[in-house]
Structure 1
Amino acid sequence: MKNMKVKFLNYMYIPALLTLTLVVWGCSSSNNFYKAPKVSAFKGGKLPAPPGMVYIPSGTILFKGSLDSGNVGKNVSLSAFFIDETEVTNKQYRQFVNWVADSIAVTDYLQDDQYFLDVASEDGERRRINWKKIKRISPIWRSSDPSIVEKITPMLELKGSVRSLNPEVVKYRFSYLKAKGNMKKEYVTESVPVLIAEDIWSKDFPNSQLTSLDANYFTHQSFDYYPVVGVTWRQARAYSDWRGKEMMANLMKNSYLSGYQLTFSLPTEAQWQYAAGGRIDARDTVAGSQLTIDGDDGKEKLAVNYKQGEGTYSRDGATFTLPVKSYIANKFGLYNMAGNVSEWTLDAYSPSAVAFVNDLNPVLLYDADEDDADALKRKVVRGGSWKDNGEQLNSDTRNYSVDYEPHSYIGFRCVMSAFELPAAQSKTRKYQN
């Protein structure tokens, strides 16, 4: 354990040591200013990942189009990135909802100086919230203090006798670079309602008795570590924006990532395919050795959550979703990249996208306007789910759903950009005849 700790600390201070070395060289002699260091391969091959994420080194994959597009695919290369080791859970998404609700409660309704770090200014400049104090009373919307409840009433509504949040009030506001194909890109600010569709189970399966899931799946603690569902693509992107800001603010101050400008988003479909493959043979499917494990009785057991046949949901251990760390991780250390829930990606959907996207970090971006046709709002969905047949579970199988439509079988995970490590190929050597 002692050696492991030393190794990790070495990773943490790589950029700092490199900077210090260059400064010393630069000060020793004016001639040394022009001398670059020789390159050595980085030992270990990967960087320590932020909590809950896994480092994926740069690599090349065969990026395939839709089966009916007639395109067999092309090789594309991906830069290194970090990706969530699991699908985003109900507990994680509830934290996002409560953060948004607390922000609105404090800034729009309570407006009490005790909840802020700075005093109100005459020009109405946005004040900084004292989150250390807010966390002691969070979530504010569940407060039993009559004076608080009275002030925040506009952001609440009753479902029967149960207090809940008003979806028209609880929205996350963020800015992003809007992309519409080859048209001019521009920064826009959008407010996205963050509450999920809790009754999505009954909506997706109208002739099934699933009201118990409607009432409990997102809110009850027994489902804390199940994948969140009922989330639209727009909500998933809003969550990834929030989580990136939270992570950079709270987790990177004393780490080797401090000072880097790293993007946080939904994975592109090429990133998702690469990570899902886990460096396994693309021919492996549900029947392959990488997606199965051996039971104590010597018989092969299922290792993914999917529909095994007509009406056969339970052979894998569950009739719907399972906790996000069920079964075994792939060789990258990622769980449930096949089965459990399908996952949103960043890309707009086109059957022929592979033919015209770049062969380096490919992505097809299109942010549709509200009055655009649904065909322009389609987003790529990857990975089969608990309700899909086995042929949907291959890492190169792609589907789509429109960006405003939630489902009980679609969840998501996030990615963060990373930087390259010197590999063995780039090591400085003498020329060999």
Structure 2
Amino acid sequence: MITKNIASLASIALLLLCSCKTDSKKEIVDAKATEAHAGFADSSTGKPLETGHRNAPKGMAHIPGGIFTMGSQDPNAHRTEGPAYSVQLSSFYIDVTEVTNAEFKKFVKETGYVTVAERPVDWEELKVQLPPNTPKPADSLLQPGGLIFDPIPNVANLNDISQWWAWKIGANWRHPHGPGSDIKGKDHYPVVQIAFEDAEAYAKWAGKRLPTEAEWEYASRGGQANHAFAWGDELTPHGKFLANFFQGTFPSGNSSADGFAGSAPVASYPPNGYGLYDMIGNVWEWTSDWYRPDSNARNKLASNGGICKNPTGPKQSYDPNDPNVPKRVIKGGSFLCSEQYCSNYRPSARMASAYDSGQEHLGFRCVQDLDVGQ
């Protein structure tokens, strides 16, 4: 059972300063058929969002099954992105956009669901994630909340994330930056401050699930292969911003050259080749895979150098830098990714996030399996 606390080890630190399996689904590709995504329009063109399969549920796109190279062999990529290996995936549907505040609000209204960031913190549950004999923080600190981006002026050390991340009591999906913030007028912004358990609960309610890391990476590439970015090999071709990332001097000198200092409404940037919006940038997205830094190596080994079919990730989490905290893989980067610090606006990039904590730049989207014969 997922713990109900949100003050994970990373949060306390700030306060205190493949399985490879086969699937025999029949693959049918219908790239010509389209269906409009209900309720949204491409902010750059004003046209309805499109999906790519006549039977795709509203708001979802059909991703045809196929084989692709997962990970990266680029010497500039992080070591956890390698080695690259071959993956075969069955077809699936995926949300065209990140789940929005309006969509999550409907879920909460219909179910009465309370997110992890809104529940009382249980010290007895929390301390099992911490090193032995970790002192209990004051009760005033053991309050529900989330991580917010709050940089100090003139950051000198980019190795010290406490200079721009802070634990904020009262931060949750309704108040992404803390009690003084809200989501009024932001129905079409991605919902954030969502823990893994919250994303799973929404997906189950919607009759969907969270994507595996492989599904997410495959979809994010938009049918292209062997490019540094989802759209090619240049970050800003012809000076055009194709994703929401940080411009200026990270972390306190945001120039907002693309028009957004934080997250943007979904579909504010052009879609990829599968008609998906904001797979890169805007907010990080949860996947269902447990995190290990060597996941790609383990999957490649399990496939004996051949093709790994429908990988679902390791059986349990392990982060050698934070071994007591179970973590899931997040993908896609966010509005905080910068050429100067965290250039994770690439399909192969991957990060770990504590499963019981929300963040101001972390959201999700869902996938759905095709029925056999579709």
Which residue does 1:392 correspond to in 2?
Answer: 344
Partner SS, residue 379 of structure 1: strand
- Relative distance call for 1:421 and 1:331 in structure 2 (3 A) is farther
- Relative distance call for 1:419 and 1:375 in structure 2 (3 A) is farther
From 59, 65, 84, the equivalent of 2:95 is 84
Partner SS, residue 92 of structure 1: helix
Partner SS, residue 223 of structure 1: coil
Which residue does 1:349 correspond to in 2?
Answer: 291
Which residue does 2:36 correspond to in 1?
Answer: none
How is 1:387-426 mapped onto 2 (pairs within 5 angstroms)? 387-390=336-339, 391-419=343-371
Which residue does 1:312 correspond to in 2?
Answer: 254
CA distance, structure 2, for counterparts of residue 240 and residue 41 of structure 1: 25
Partner SS, residue 86 of structure 1: coil
CA distance, structure 2, for counterparts of residue 276 and residue 57 of structure 1: 13
Which residue does 1:53 correspond to in 2?
Answer: 60
- Relative distance call for 1:377 and 1:283 in structure 2 (3 A) is same
1:274-304 per-residue CA deviation (whole Å, 9 max, x = no partner) reads 00000124324389478657xxxxx632121
From 212, 215, 220, the equivalent of 1:268 is 212
CA distance, structure 2, for counterparts of residue 242 and residue 273 of structure 1: 24
1:284-332 per-residue CA deviation (whole Å, 9 max, x = no partner) reads 4389478657xxxxx6321211113412350111000000111110010
Which residue does 2:221 correspond to in 1?
Answer: 277
CA distance, structure 1, for counterparts of residue 356 and residue 105 of structure 2: 20
Q: TM-score, normalised by structure 1?
A: 0.54
From 272, 284, 287, the equivalent of 1:330 is 272
**1:361 partnered with 2:310:** yes
Determine if contact 1:79/1:420 at 8 Å carries over to the other structure.
no
Determine if contact 1:59/1:78 at 8 Å carries over to the other structure.
yes
Deviates more, 1:42-51 or 1:325-334: 42-51
Partner SS, residue 94 of structure 2: strand
**1:214 partnered with 2:178:** yes
1:346-404 per-residue CA deviation (whole Å, 9 max, x = no partner) reads 00011111233361010125467xxxx85451110101100111421110011111101
CA distance, structure 2, for counterparts of residue 283 and residue 40 of structure 1: 26
Determine if contact 2:27/2:64 at 8 Å carries over to the other structure.
no
Which residue does 1:63 correspond to in 2?
Answer: 70
Which residue does 1:232 correspond to in 2?
Answer: 195
Which residue does 2:47 correspond to in 1?
Answer: none
- Relative distance call for 1:400 and 1:199 in structure 2 (3 A) is closer
1:183-223 per-residue CA deviation (whole Å, 9 max, x = no partner) reads xxxxxxxxxxxxx9578456974499x98953576541x11
Which amino acid letter does the alignment assign opposite residue 362 of structure 2? I
Determine if contact 1:42/1:421 at 8 Å carries over to the other structure.
no
Structure with more contact order per residue of length (Cα contacts < 8 Å, sep ≥ 6): 2
Which structure: larger Rg?
Answer: 1
- Relative distance call for 1:292 and 1:166 in structure 2 (3 A) is closer
CA distance, structure 2, for counterparts of residue 82 and residue 98 of structure 1: 25
Which amino acid letter does the alignment assign opposite residue 81 of structure 1? F
**1:383 partnered with 2:332:** yes
Which residue does 1:93 correspond to in 2?
Answer: 104
- Relative distance call for 1:207 and 1:224 in structure 2 (3 A) is same
How is 1:159-174 mapped onto 2 (pairs within 5 angstroms)? 167=119
Q: TM-score, normalised by structure 2?
A: 0.62
CA distance, structure 1, for counterparts of residue 336 and residue 189 of structure 2: 15
**1:303 partnered with 2:242:** yes
Which amino acid letter does the alignment assign opposite residue 277 of structure 1? R
CA distance, structure 2, for counterparts of residue 77 and residue 86 of structure 1: 24
Q: How many residues align?
A: 267
CA distance, structure 2, for counterparts of residue 313 and residue 90 of structure 1: 26
CA distance, structure 2, for counterparts of residue 286 and residue 308 of structure 1: 19
> Once the 2 structures are TM-superposed, how far is the Cα of residue 95 of structure 1 from its aligned partner?
1.2
> Once the 2 structures are TM-superposed, how far is the Cα of residue 419 of structure 1 from its aligned partner?
4.6
Partner SS, residue 96 of structure 1: helix
CA distance, structure 1, for counterparts of residue 118 and residue 363 of structure 2: 23
- Relative distance call for 1:288 and 1:315 in structure 2 (3 A) is farther
Which amino acid letter does the alignment assign opposite residue 48 of structure 1? N
Partner SS, residue 238 of structure 1: helix
CA distance, structure 2, for counterparts of residue 414 and residue 267 of structure 1: 6
Which amino acid letter does the alignment assign opposite residue 101 of structure 1? G
5+ long unaligned stretches in structure 2: 1-25, 33-52, 121-143, 151-161
- Relative distance call for 1:313 and 1:58 in structure 2 (3 A) is farther
> Once the 2 structures are TM-superposed, how far is the Cα of residue 75 of structure 1 from its aligned partner?
0.2
- Relative distance call for 1:361 and 1:375 in structure 2 (3 A) is farther
- Relative distance call for 1:364 and 1:62 in structure 2 (3 A) is same
1:402-432 per-residue CA deviation (whole Å, 9 max, x = no partner) reads 101110011100000115779xxxxxxxxxx
Partner SS, residue 302 of structure 1: coil
CA distance, structure 2, for counterparts of residue 291 and residue 420 of structure 1: 39
Determine if contact 2:68/2:225 at 8 Å carries over to the other structure.
no
Percent of residue pairs identical:
31
